[in-house]
Every structure is written in C-alpha cells, then in structure tokens.
Amino acid sequence: MSTDTTISQRPTPPSYEVPKVIRFGALAVGFLVLVLFPLVFNNPTISTIGVFAMIFLMAVTGWNIFSGYTGYIALGHAVFFGIGQYATAMLASYWQIPPGWETFLLIPVSMFLAGLAAIPIGLIVLRVRKHTFIVLTIALMFIFQLFAYNLRGWTGGSQGLEVSQPPWDGSIFNLPYYYVGLFLAIVAIISSFMIRRSKFGLSLLAIRDDEDRARSLGINTRNSKLTAFVISAIFLGAAGCMYAMFVGSVYPQFSFDPAFDLELSIMAFAGGLGTILGPSLGALIISGAQQYFLITFGGANVFLIVYGALFILILRLLPGGVVPAISDKWRSHVVRKEQRILDSELEGPAEAGAHK
Amino acid sequence: MTLLGVEGIVKNYGGIQALRNCTMNFQEGAINGLIGPNGSGKTTLFNVMTGYETPDSGKVTFRGKDITNSTPDEVFAAGIGRTFQLTRIFPRLTVIENVHIAAQRKGLVAQMRQWSQPDERARALESLDFVGLTKLSREPAGSLSYGQQKLLEFAFIMVAEPKVMLLDEPAGGVNPTLLKHLGGRIKELNKTGVTFIIVEHDMEFVMGICDQVSVMHQGSALIEGKPEIVRNDPAVLEAYLGTDMTEVN
Amino acid sequence: MLVLQAIIEGVLVGGFYALMAAGLTLVFGVMDIVNFAIGALIVLGAYLSYSITTHFHIDPFVSLIFTTPLMTALGMVIYVFLIKPIKTNKVVMSLLTMFAVATLIEGILDICYNSGFVQIHASYINNSLRIGKLNFPLIYVLSFLLSAFLLSCLYLVTYRTKFGRSLRASMQNPVAARLVGIDTDRVSMITLGIGIGLAAIGGMIFGTTNAFNASSSYDIISRLLVIVILGGFGSVGGALVAAIFMLVIQDVVAVVWSPVWGSTAFYMILMVVLLVRPQGLFGKKGVRAQ
C-alpha cells in the first residue's frame, strides 16, 4: 500500500484561509508601523494626519460592529459622534476641567453618554425595516443638527462651543492625542474581534443574512441589534470626544455632518464591510488621502467630488472591499495550486491506475 | 394525544380569506401530513402556528398552552421548528456556522464566548452527519445545491432538538434519491419521539410516510384521518378535482 | 388670520414637496431604490434654470423646455450605468450609490457656482395675489398650480395609459410582470427618468421660491425623506397627504412659535408617528416573507 496520499484521498479539504503565520506577521508589522509612525515622522502636519486617522479608525471599526455585522447600514451615526463632541465641550466648561491631561478623562464619560443615548434611539429606529431604517437614521441626524443650532443656551448655536487647548509645546502636541487614539482604536479592533468570534457575533451575521430566519431559530433579534447599536455608538462617542479635544471647537454642521457618515461608509466598504480589519484598513487609507487632499487643495468641495466618485467606483467594482478581495485572491491561488498538483497526479506513473 | 392544535383560526388578507374557521389537531409522536389544493391555506396556517402571522381570531395551542400571539423566536424556544417552502439558510455563513446558529445558550456571558463550544460542535457535526453534509461543513451555505440546502435546513433545526418539526414542502424540487434519503431521516427522527407536520403536494411521499393526514380546502379543515381513508374520501377527491388523487390511486 | 395664511401657504408650498415626494415614492415602488440624490438633483435643476434665465433672459417656466428633457435623459443614464448593474442587496447598495451621486453633484455645483446664495428671478416674482385680507406671492400660486397639474398628469399616465399599466404591474409583482412580457428594465429606466425630469421642474420651482446654494440639497432631501417615510414607502397618495400635512404644520409652528422650531417640528412629528406606527401613515405593515 502506498504511504503517501494523493489529494483525492485526503479526508478534509485544504484550508482556503490565509495561513496564520502570514496574518500574524502582517498584523505585527502593521502594529509596529502605527506605534512608530509619529516618532519617525515628527512633522506636526504629518502627525496631525495620524491623529485624524486614529479617530476615524476607532469610529469606523465601531460603526462596522453594527452596520457591518448586522447589515443595517446606519447613515446617521454621526449623531453619536456629535453627542461625544458636545458632551465633551459642555462638560469641560461646566466642570471647569483644566486643559491638559485631565480632559482625557472625558473620554469614558463621552462613551458612556453616547451609549446611554443609543438605547432610546436604538429602540426607536430598530423597529423598522432596513430601508426605512437607513433613511430614518439620516433624518435623526438632521434633527440633532437642528437641536444643536436651536438650543443656543446650551450648545452655543451656530457659534459653537470651544474646548480649551492644553498648553503643550507645538512639536509634541500631537503625540498624546495620537497614542490615546491608537489605544482606543486597538480597543475597538479587539472588541470587534471578540464579538466576531462569539455566539453574539454569529447571531449578528445571521441577522444580516436573513433576519426572520434568525428569529425563527431562537435569536432575540431585537436585543442583539440593540446591543450592537449601543456598542458601536460608544466608540463613536469616544471618537467625538477626541475630535472635540483635538480640534478645539465644536460646531453643529461639523458634529452632525452627513458627510461624516458618508466617509465612514466609504472607509468601511472600501476596506471590507463586515470584516474585522477591513474597516481599519479603509480608514487608514482614506483618511490619509483626505488629509492629503485638504492640505494640497484646500476647500471641501473638491473632496466631495472625489468622495462621491470614489464611492461610486467602489460600489460598482469592489463592493466587497479590499480585505475580502485579498482572501478571494488567496483562495483562488490555493485552488489553482491544488488543481496543478491534481493534474500532475492524474498524469503520473501508470501504477496509480493499477492501485485502483 | 394532541400536541399542537389550532382552533377557529380566521385570517384575512384584504379581501381574501386565507383561513376560515380552521380547526385541526396534530397528534404527538406521529408524522402528520397536511395536504390540500393550492391556495387552501397550508402555508398560511404554518405562518400562523409559528408566529409569523397573527390570526384575526382563533387560538393556537401547544401542549395545552396558548401560543397564538407568540413571536417566531418564542415559538422556536418552545420547541417548534420549521422549514420554509423556498429554503431559507444563511448563504454567507459556512455550513457549520449555519448549524451552530440554532444552538441555544442561556445568559449574557454565554453569548460572548466563542461561537463553537465543544458540546455544540459535537451536536452540530452529529446533525450534519445525520443528513450527510459533513464533507461540506466549511463551504459557504450559499454555494450548496438546492437539495443540499434543504438538508441543511433540516440539520440546523434538528440541533435545537425540537419536539415538533413543521416541514413546508420538503419534497419540492428535490430528486428522488435525495427524497428517499430525506424520508428515511424523517422516519428515523420520528422514532426518537419528534412529531412532524409535513405540508406536501407529492402524494406518493405523503402517503408513504405519514401516520395521519389532514386535508385542507379553501382555508378550513376538510377531513383528518389515516392515509388510506383520506385518499379514498370522495370529498377530498372533489377538492382536488381528481388530479393528484386519481394519479396515486 | 396669520394662522390661516400660514395654512394656505403651507398647502401651496406642500404642492411642490408632494410632487417631488410622489416621484421619490414611485421610483421606490417600481424598483426598490431610494433615490437619495433627488435633493441634489433638484438643486441641479434649480441651478440650470438659474443659469439659463440669467444668461438668456427668458422666463423660468420657459427654461423648463431645456432642463426637463436634459435631466430626464440624465435619469435614464443613471439607471442604466449605476442602478441596473446592481445585483445583490439592491435597496442598500442603490441608496449608497445615490448618496454618492448626491455628494458628487453637490461638489460639482459648489465648484461651478461657489457657495453664495442665489435665487431665480422673473419680473413677476414679487407680485402678490390678494384674496380678501390675505396676500400670497404669485410665484407660490403658480408653482402650486404647476405641481397640481403635473400630479394630475402623473395620475393619468399611471392609471390611463399602457405604460402606466406596465408601471403598476412592475410595482406589484416584477416577476409576474416579466412573465407577461413587460420589460421591467425599460419601465424602471423610464420611471427614473420621469422622477428626475420632475426634479428639473421641481428645481425651477424651488429656485424661484427660495434662495439656495449647493448645500440646500440637504434640507430638501431630509424633508422629502420624512414625507415619504410618513406617507409610507410606495404610497403616492400617502406622500401627497404627508407633504401637505407636514408643510402646513411647519408653517403654522413657524408663525405661532418661531421659524427655527418650524423645521424642528418637521422631524419631531416623524419621530412621534413612527413610535406609534412604524410603517408610516399609509404604508403596509412589513409582511414577513412566507
């Protein structure tokens, strides 16, 4: 009896996944790059790009936990971004927090408040079907924007609110923001990973594929969706807080901004909606490009054109995103390799036929 | 003994009366068939029984308990599983993931643990083995053939060990070999105590496997009884306009 | 008295929103897509009418002869190249695509025209119509009449023509429609063309009654979405009622309380209604498949 087995005799199919070694390697390299980035490129303009990239990273990963996993594309999540911003600005002045390290304590507070707000909001918007949901979240965001404009006593109306900037030296000003942002982004990614691995995550994916079917198998879809909604809101609140602290001012049109939601969705789609790392990849690439555009061309309107055109292209050509495209390529690579081996075995020595 | 029963169910859609004062009882431990011409309300009855639709009036009882207004997840948790006419599986998830979805867990903390605990995995593989899909466990469910998807649906309902399985046209679009396989699985599962209610048009399949057959016509029950009795009943023949029944006879 | 004026003005302006919402909900009913770009397209129509009337010194209503066919064609092109190719998850993907189109248009308009506010002028714009003690800007009345006229045309086309029959069939059951030989793709293409052609007209109306710039699209789209949700997706009658209802309320609140709260009231009503009836006023309850 022959001791080596041919492919056709293998009991289980080969793994089509990218080998763990490569995956961990890539992750480790990525992590190192991100940690060392502002130290290597210590030009404040460049590290500013980094800070915004971190803010978007945590926001998109958080957004993906809800929209990517459940398939309910929430185009109004800027609500929680704005809540984070306004909470930070209002509490910083109300509690008389001195600018500097203490302001960072507002991050967990903003996260808590955003999460808290997400409960009633979620209960309302999650009652409707997917397409109404999308539209409803957009309407909701406009409501908040209007509130921000109108409740002048609290929000400063169109004048906005200020968050005092810490008196740090210009050359290292960005560093604390960057590293805190990186930390939060990593927390977001780890949360996303743990959710994806859990039964809860599987329930979310089932909801994405066929919500009613999931219900018929015992999944409490309402609670699952709400939980994911609240978790994602928490990360958006954190992003809002960081944004308010870093930029120093909070305005209605930039806190509750439809363009922000558009950016979130492009980043998630481009990277790979529903994957763990895809949105992060998309965030890094696109926010980097965005900042570059702003610096080179100024003016938001050119960027709108680019965003719009880019999104249309992505939706047409690569609706799955980069990460799934990579795993698809890997899969076809493995299949082709197997096919070649199989072909060579079939053409092999005549004994192969005799053994049968 | 009646396991699942409906009493006086009325369900209207606009001007159409889908169910008219429908009263039926399904015996525990038996393989119950539910037949009737197209439009007689079989799938609607299933929808009402499993919480997808609420009846305009009437009652659905399970083991004596009123479950008329229960939601689909409550119905499933009570022990009633169902398949759909057009198979509904989770196409973007792998076969093994599909089967894990029905695995019930209690408590918040449990939800956060990995999606495949050892005992769940064992049960999942057992179900897949039972229907014969083990080799395909890592494939995305959407890439399975229609017949394989039907088996998958069967498998993942099994995982939760339901007391009743409602099968909506399990034979539809399935080749004879696979159908025989499915029939064998149903009989074997029935021996372990699972009650079945099967909606079907394939008379040969129904008559060959069911202990008890109920016939529906124009939204209400026409007759219930043993297959041989039902197949020869003149009212049933008339309801079908003689097509399917005479072919079987 | 002021309230009565507000109510009537609400009705007059509501006509415009009713026309636009009807187009939006019709498009959704036929092809399951939310034309999120309609706000930007209306603004595009407004700018086109604006440029034509200022450069060629012609009446805004006359400019429609040029803008309407142009934008109808644009609608059909958008359908063929962007919507038709979408195979999976049509509702979500099309909404995102149209969201992107809207952003694209807004960006282009912003660059071409800068962010200054403009308004379309005609010699009679500022004339008013007097009825008893009430004053109504003539342009409001004319716009309302135009909207009403077009809505009736829409009704006639939908219910009295062969195309309308194909349209309704495609709305009710696309598969069955195809089985009886209706080219649902062509119906969809024409419907989107109609929807966007109407946006051209709506743009002219909007441009004469409001000062606008590229970012006005947000105001328009958010209101239209509220109206369509309230009326129920797919229900043209619902859109009509919702439009008039919301605009009247907005105007009354603006007069009685303050203009800023008028806009807010708009959205608050949406929230309240949805709490009670998630399917909108006229929508059908989401029927679970099978």
Q: Does C288 sit within 8 Å of B84, measured CB to CB? A: no
Burial of A4 by CB count in 10 Å (0-12 exposed, 13-18 middle, 19+ buried)? exposed
Distance CA C19, CA C201 (A): 10
Structure confidence by residue, pLDDT tens digits, B205-230: 888 889 889 888 888 888 888 888 88
Nearest partner of C143 among C228, C202, C71, judged by Cα:
C202
What integer is the mean pLDDT of C201-218? 86
Most C-contacting residue of B16, B48, B52 (CB-CB within 10 A), to test interface: B52
CB within 8 Å: B156 and A217: yes
- Cβ-defined contact of A200 to B97 (cutoff 8 Å): no
3-state secondary structure of A7: helix
pLDDT class of A298 with cuts at 50, 70, 90: low
H helix runs in chain C, sequence order: 2-31, 38-56, 60-78, 90-113, 138-160, 162-172, 174-179, 184-209, 216-231, 236-256, 259-276
Q: Is C199:C23 a contact under the CB 8 Å cutoff?
A: yes
CA C248 to chain centre: 17
Q: How many Cβ atoms from other residues are within 10 Å of residue B107's Cβ? A: 8
Q: Is A223 on the interface with B (CB under 8 A)?
A: no
Task: Give the pLDDT band of residue A349 (cuts 50, 70, 90).
Answer: low
Residue B66 near residue B40, CB atoms below 8 Å: no
Give the distance from residue C127's alpha carbon to the nearest chain A alpha carbon, in angstroms.
32
DSSP B27-56: ETTSEEEEE-STTSSHHHHHHHHTTSS--S
Res C233: pLDDT: 75
Closest Cα in chain C, distance from residue A256 (Å): 12
Mean pLDDT throughout C176-196?
A: 86
pLDDT higher than 80, residue C261: no
* pLDDT (mean) for A10-23: 65
Does C55 lie at the interface with B, CB-CB under 8 angstroms?
no
pLDDT tens for residues C213-231?
888 888 888 888 888 888 8
Q: What is the pLDDT of residue A61?
A: 94
- For residue C288, list chain B residues with Cβ-Cβ distance below 8 A: 47, 52-53
Question: What's the CA angle centered on C232, arms A119 and C264, to 5 degrees?
Answer: 55
Taking CA–CA distances from A74, the nearest residue in chain C reads C92
Does the ipTM exceed 0.85?
no
CA–chain centroid gap for C262, Å, is 20
- What's the mean pLDDT in B136-152? 87
Six token digits for residue A173: 């000003």
Q: Smallest CA–CA separation between A55 and chain B, in Å?
A: 26
Interface residue B47 vs chain C (CB under 8 A): yes
CB contact under 8 A, C34 and A131: yes
φ, ψ of residue B22 to 5 degrees: the values are -90, 125
DSSP H or E stretch at residue A264: helix A258-271
**Measured between alpha carbons, how far is C107 from C90 in angstroms, rounded to an integer?**
25
Rounded (10°) CA dihedral C161, C163, C165, C171:
-140
Shortest distance, CA A311 to any CA of chain C (angstroms): 6
**Numbers of helices and strands, H then E, in chain A:** 16, 2
| pLDDT (0 to 100) of residue A112 | 94
From the list A265, A241, A287, the residue with the least C-alpha distance to A57 is A287
Please report which confidence band the pLDDT of residue A300 belongs to, taking 50, 70 and 90 as the band edges: low
Question: What DSSP letter does each residue of B157-213 carry, written as one string?
Answer: HHHT--SEEEEESTTTT--HHHHHHHHHHHHHHHHTT-EEEEE-S-HHHHHHH-SEE
Please write the tens of the pLDDT for every residue from B72-116. Answer: 888 888 889 888 888 888 988 889 889 888 887 777 777 777 777
Q: Which residues does chain B have within 8 Å of residue C172's beta carbon, measured at their own beta carbons?
A: none
Distance to chain B for C77, nearest Cα, Å: 32
Place of tokens 């603006």: C254
Chain B residues near any Cβ of chain A (below 8 Å): 50, 52, 71-73, 75-77, 81-82, 84, 88-93, 97, 100-105, 110-115, 135, 138, 156-157, 160
Is the minimum CB–CB distance between C88 and chain B shorter than 8 Å?
no
Q: Is A234 helix (H, G, I), strand (E, B) or coil?
A: helix
Identify whether the C-beta of residue A304 lies closer than 8 Å to the C-beta of residue C218.
no
For residue A150, give the nearest of C222, C260, C275 by CB distance.
C260
User: H or E element: which one contains B95?
Assistant: helix B95-101
- Cα C205 to Cα A318: distance, rounded to the nearest angstrom: 39
DSSP code string of A144-203 = HHHHHHH-HHHH-GGG-EE-PPP---TTTTHHHHHHHHHHHHHHHHHHHHHHHHBHHHHH
Distance CA B86, CA A212 (A): 13
Is residue A12 scored above 60 in pLDDT?
no
Nearest to C289 by CA among A324, A24, A215, A68: A215
Q: Which residues contact C231 (CB under 8 A, 6 or more apart)?
A: C21, C25, C237, C238, C239, C240, C241, C242, C243, C280, C281, C282, C283
- Distance between CA C245 and CA C181 in Å, rounded? 40
Render pLDDT for C130-148 as a digit per residue (tens, 0 to 9). Answer: 777 777 778 788 888 888 8
Which of A129, A305, A311 lies closest to C108 in CB terms?
A305
Question: What's the CA gap between B69 and B54, in Å, rounded?
Answer: 6
Query: Looking at residues B31-58, what average pLDDT do you find?
Result: 86
A158 has pLDDT over 80? no
Residue with tokens 């990963």: A61
Quick one: closest CA in C to B84, which residue?
A: C290
Residue the block writes with tokens 């004319």 = C142
CA–CA dist A195, A155 (Å, integer):
35
User: Hey, are the CB atoms on A305 and C97 less than 8 Å from each other?
Assistant: no
Position A137 confidence tier, pLDDT thresholds 50, 70, 90: confident
pLDDT over 70 for what percent of chain B? Answer: 96
Find the closest chain C residue to A129 by CA distance: C286
pLDDT at C218: 83
Rounded to the nearest 5 degrees, what angle is found at the Cα of A302, between the Cα atoms of A299 and A305? Answer: 145
User: Taking a contact as any Cβ pair under 8 Å apart, which residues of chain A between 205 and 234 contact chain C?
Assistant: 212
Cα B74–chain centre separation: 16
Work out the burial of residue A64: count CB atoms within 10 Å of its CB; fewer than 13 is exposed, 13-18 middle, 19 or more buried.
Answer: buried
Q: Which residues contact A15 (CB under 8 A, 6 or more apart)?
A: A334
CA–CA separation, A158 and A209 (whole Å): 42
| Amino acid letter, residue A16 | Y
Exposed / middle / buried, residue A65 (Cβ in 10 Å: 0-12, 13-18, 19+)? buried
| Distance (Å, whole) CA A52 – CA A18 | 30
Nearest to B90 among A200, A201, A210 (CB): A210
Partner-chain residue, chosen from B72, B102, B138, that has the shortest CB–CB distance to A212: B72
Residue bearing tokens 């096919």: A339
Q: Which residue on chain C is closest to A257 by alpha carbon?
A: C218
Say if residue A322's pLDDT is above 90: no
Q: Please enumerate in sequence order all residues whose Cβ is within 8 A of that of B104, keeping only pairs 6 or more positions apart, or say none.
A: A218, B77, B160
The whole-angstrom separation of Cα C276 and Cα B56 is 20
DSSP state for residue B122 in the 8-state scheme: H
| B101:A194 CB<8 A | no
Question: Which residue, chain included where needed, has tokens 């038996």?
Answer: B30
Which among B77, B89, B111 has the least Cβ separation from residue A218?
B77
C33 alpha carbon, distance to own chain's centre: 14
Q: What is the pLDDT of residue B241?
A: 62
- What is the reported pLDDT for A2? 40
Contacts of C226 in chain A (CB under 8 A): 139
| CA max distance for chain C | 59
What percent of chain C has pLDDT above 70?
94
Chain C: list its partners (3+ Cβ pairs within 8 Å).
A, B
pLDDT tens digits, C64-106? 889 999 999 999 999 998 888 887 777 778 888 888 898 889 8
Q: Which of C222, C273, C276, C285 to mutate to test the interface with A (most CBs of A within 10 A)?
A: C222
* C1: its two tokens: 């008295």
Paired strand residues for B216: B221
* A111 contact B CB<8A: no
| A212 contacts C104? CB cut-off 8 A | no
Main-chain dihedrals φ then ψ at residue C285, nearest 5 degrees: -60, 135
The helix/strand/coil state of A276 is: coil
pLDDT of residue A81: 94
- A interface test, pick of B43, B52, B80, B88 with most A CB neighbours within 10 Å: B88
Fold of C2-115+131-276: ABC transporter involved in vitamin B12 uptake, BtuC (1.10.3470)
